[in-house]
Amino acid sequence: GENVEQHPSTLSVQEGDSAVIKCTYSDSASNYFPWYKQELGKGPQLIIDIRSNVGEKKDQRIAVTLNKTAKHFSLHITETQPEDSAVYFCAAILNSGGYQKVTFGTGTKLQVIP
Amino acid sequence: GAVVSQHPSRVICKSGTSVKIECRSLDFQATTMFWYRQFPKQSLMLMATSNEGSKATYEQGVEKDKFLINHASLTLSTLTVTSAHPEDSSFYICSARSSLAGGDSYNEQFFGPGTRLTVL
């Protein structure tokens, strides 16, 4: 089955600096890679995603890159703000017909220091 | 955007009682809903996949008689924790997948806000 590793587990950055979180996956059949932000006591919220036929995607201060050959993808947050502080999860999803299997990474607790 | 609600948000119950958690897709139809369990400071662990009108598919190690799942309509799935014990205390999160095949959101799972279960 799929195995997703996520690093680092915790990350502290100064406000305004960039933050990078990396994930690797094992199943080359996975074809969709979302990133979620989870605040304390709440459900995960999708912040950005990328499909396997795309190498990079950007949405304002957030970007995701995917290297299919190496089977890793990364989340980049620029100009970090205190409200970016949360736990971030990557996921690798296998979509095949009507079937979907999702495997989450272990999470990264991001702290943005004002 | 697509909204998924869960009810209740928090529940405290006595050991041995059963608790039902509802998951609703508010503005879209979901043929598939997923139930996750999350322990403090840990990742989400998939418990089961719920398909409308059919039996749920449980992940290895999840007792189907302990965690009853019913997906009776395209907008509602329920998880019932039967004979709850303190070790069942956790954060339970559902997600729903749009039934619009080929649409932009087809791949995406929309998550509910979670339900905090505490069993005394």
B6, B44, B101 member nearest A104 (Cβ): B44
DSSP letter assigned to residue B87: G
For residue B30, the SS3 value is strand
Collect all residues of chain B within an 8 Å Cβ-Cβ radius of residue A95: 106-107
Note the pLDDT tens digit of each residue in B98-113.
Answer: 766 555 555 678 899 9
Collect all residues of chain B within an 8 Å Cβ-Cβ radius of residue A98: 31-32, 101
Note the pLDDT tens digit of each residue in B66-85.
Answer: 999 998 888 999 999 999 99
pLDDT at residue B88 tops 90:
yes
Closest chain A residue to the Cα of B30, Cα to Cα = A98
Looking up tokens 């290895």, which residue turns up?
A: B60
Distance CA A27, CA B83 (A): 37
Note the pLDDT tens digit of each residue in B6-54.
Answer: 999 999 999 999 999 999 999 888 888 999 999 988 999 999 998 888 8
pLDDT at residue B105, as a whole number: 53
Note the pLDDT tens digit of each residue in A89-111.
Answer: 999 998 877 778 889 999 999 99
- Average pLDDT value over all residues in chain A: 94
Average pLDDT (A1-25) is 96
> Cβ of A100 and B32 within 8 Å?
yes
Collect all residues of chain B within an 8 Å Cβ-Cβ radius of residue A107: 41-43
Closest chain B residue to the Cα of A52, Cα to Cα = B107
